[in-house]
Amino acid sequence: MAKGTCKVPECGTVGRLARGWCLACYEWSRSHNWADPAGRRRRNLPADGECTVVEGGVKCTGDNYGNLLCRKHYDRQRRHGDPLAFKRLGHGEMQAFLRAAAHAETSECVIPPHRTGHWNVNTSDGFMNASRYVWILRYGDPGRQHVLHTCNGGSGANGCVNIRHLTLGDNSRNVLDRGDAGVQVGEAHHSSKLRAEQVTGIRERAAAGKSYQALADEYGVCRQTVSDVVARRTWRRLP
């Protein structure tokens, strides 16, 4: 694509051209059935036609793509709300980050950019919870035990993978930690279809011989939901 000065007198942007227009005028014309971009409303553009972002103390010299930003910073602004936001780590960078987290010496939370909550990492065995993967890197496979957090009230809600903030426990301990940290459980969960008294009734009536399908029809849920309730795969905190 040629470079030069936009042929629209009111624009005068210097940079990449299409049909003799800068990219901003070209995109405006295309989205307005190829109308003359001379009549479009415009902001005061920098005289050099370059991106206005200063990153690391150095002004970006990329061509203005839109909103006084080059294409790279424009995309960052659109995706992350900040033209200076870092991109997510690549696979190799992420592996190095997790290995460092597995041997971290700091007591602060270790969080990669643009990660929150419980997130997964792609491993040779498929996708795995990042905190569990960090534990395996340091201590080996924990088997059936869960890898729990000691930070954020036990929830790990900020995405921390610092090995110093991880510990082992069973699923019951995991559920309790989530409840103590304010994570939605039981009736408070956004996808809950039953109330606590209904769960108690289902368990009592199933123990008395009522069929799972009959209970499912009565409470308006599927048979698997009843099975999970009775087997305590769900609603474990309820006595």
Q: What's the CATH number where 174 sits?
A: 3.90.75
Q: Does the residue 238 lie in any domain?
A: no
| Residue 74 and residue 98 in one domain | no
| Residue 175 and residue 194 in one domain | no
pLDDT for res 190: 47
**Residue 117 belongs to what domain range?**
91-180
How many whole angstroms separate alpha carbon 135 and alpha carbon 124? 16
How many whole angstroms separate alpha carbon 100 and alpha carbon 137? 10
Give the other-Cβ count within 10 Å of 154's Cβ. Answer: 21
- Token pair of 238 as six digits: 């309820």
Threshold 0.85, pTM exceeds: no
pLDDT for res 195: 79
Q: Does the residue 44 lie in any domain?
A: yes
| Residue 103 and residue 157 in one domain | yes
| Residue 100 and residue 21 in one domain | no
Q: Does the residue 237 lie in any domain?
A: no
How many structural domains does the chain have? 3
Q: Does the residue 86 lie in any domain?
A: no
pLDDT for res 87: 60
| Residue 37 and residue 110 in one domain | no
How much is the average pLDDT of 199-213? 90
| Residue 198 and residue 176 in one domain | no
pLDDT-derived band at 169 (thresholds 50, 70, 90) equals: confident
| Residue 151 and residue 202 in one domain | no
pLDDT, averaged across the chain: 79
Q: Does the residue 109 lie in any domain?
A: yes
Structural domain ending residue among the three candidates 80, 108, 133? 80
Q: Does the residue 62 lie in any domain?
A: yes
Q: Does the residue 85 lie in any domain?
A: no
How many whole angstroms separate alpha carbon 184 and alpha carbon 196? 14
- pLDDT tens string 178-193: 554 444 445 544 456 7
| Residue 43 and residue 22 in one domain | yes
- Token pair of 17 as six digits: 């051209």
| Residue 61 and residue 107 in one domain | no
Comparison of pLDDT for 140 and 15, the residue scoring more: 140
Comparison of pLDDT for 162 and 235, the residue scoring more: 162
| Residue 195 and residue 158 in one domain | no
| Residue 62 and residue 129 in one domain | no
| Residue 156 and residue 214 in one domain | no
Q: Please answer whether residues 234 and 222 qualify as being in contact, where contact means their C-beta atoms are separated by less than 8 angstroms.
A: no
